[in-house]
Chains A and B, each alone.
Chain A
Amino acid sequence: MEYKTISDGKLVSLYQEGDQKAFEELLRRYKSRTYTTIYLIVKDSYTAEDLLQETFIKAIQTIKNGRYNEEGKFLPWILRIAHNIAIDFFRKEKRYPTIILEDGSPVFNHLDFSEESFESVQIRNEVFSRLRTMVQQLPETQREVLLMRHYGDMSFQEIADSTGVSINTALGRMRYALINLRKQMSKYNIQYDKNFYPK
């Protein structure tokens, strides 16, 4: 069976019936988006990996116990779990501060790049690392909308329904996230794409 072409909903059904490869495909599709979302909330790669594991364990239990709502889309659903777990952890950590390394292990975590020179990879790493830091520093409500829309593939209406606000509030939060990121980018002098901002 060619799993890459099967829909998320069908993969969930197959996994419920005991097809392990169906789960492997779901994990392959969404592990990076889920991990990135968690990382951008908790700001530590070791913690993000622990919470990624927790997220998928919760998903496995929900699916296997027949409590997965087939009408929902898998990606927004798993990212919602990840988001809630990460926020819970983050709030707990704020109450009981512990020493966290400034950055996690760069050995296992890497950005997806095509073949590039060492120098350009270094520059890109720095730019994206700064961007991640900027996203982490956004107010929670703005970061939530940004992550849910961009990595979670949820519509603004779905985000509004899920967070209990109007669609205009969700869009407004996205707009403020953009304004804040733009300010930060200017501060750090992160260049915009040359295609859009020619010299």
Chain B
Amino acid sequence: MIKTSTPNDIIRYVYNETSLDENYFIEQSLIEDDSLQRIYQDLISLQTKLDKAILNPSDAVIKKILIYSKSFNNVGL
């Protein structure tokens, strides 16, 4: 019986949640199946974009958190 990969396998593969054995079959499927290849490309593209879409909070709020943390530290000791 020929083992085929599913879209869920591709998602796990992109997020490094598959075993080496699974990887072999998935990589074969990616070569042979255009629809899986498309899902793979979409996921990689999305990962890159989500990494770059990250936002930073203001310095002011970080300072407030640090002040609270410090005061809690002093009380706790």
A residues within 8 Å of B by Cβ? 15, 18, 20, 23-24, 27, 31-33, 35-36, 39, 45, 48-49, 52-53, 56-57, 60-61, 64, 105, 108-113, 124, 127-128, 131-132, 135, 146, 149-151, 155-157, 168, 171-172, 174-175, 178, 181-182, 192-193, 196-197
- A30 → B minimal CB distance (Å): 11
Residues of B within 8 A of A150 (CB): 47, 50
Q: Which residues of B contact A27 (CB under 8 A)?
A: 62, 65-66, 69
Query: Is the C-beta of B53 less than 8 angstroms from some C-beta in chain A?
Result: yes
Total count of chain B residues near the partner, CB < 8 A: 38
Further pairs besides A24-B69, A181-B46, A193-B45: 8, Cβ < 8 Å:
A20-B70, A27-B62, A45-B55, A131-B53, A150-B50, A155-B15, A178-B42, A193-B44
Question: Distance in Å from the Cβ of A23 to the closest Cβ of chain B?
Answer: 5
Main secondary structure of the interface of B (DSSP, over half): helix
- Measuring CB to CB, which residues of chain B are less than 8 angstroms from any residue of chain A? 7-8, 11-12, 15, 17, 39, 41-50, 52-62, 64-66, 68-70, 72-73, 76-77
Q: How far is the CB of A2 from chain B (nearest CB, A)?
A: 20
> Shortest distance in angstroms between A8's beta carbon and chain B's nearest beta carbon?
16
A20 touches B56 (CB 8 A): no
Q: Can you list 26 A-B contacts (CB < 8 A)?
A: A15-B73, A20-B69, A35-B56, A35-B57, A49-B57, A53-B61, A64-B76, A108-B56, A108-B60, A109-B56, A109-B58, A110-B55, A110-B56, A111-B53, A112-B56, A128-B52, A151-B54, A155-B15, A171-B12, A175-B8, A175-B39, A181-B46, A182-B42, A192-B42, A193-B45, A197-B41
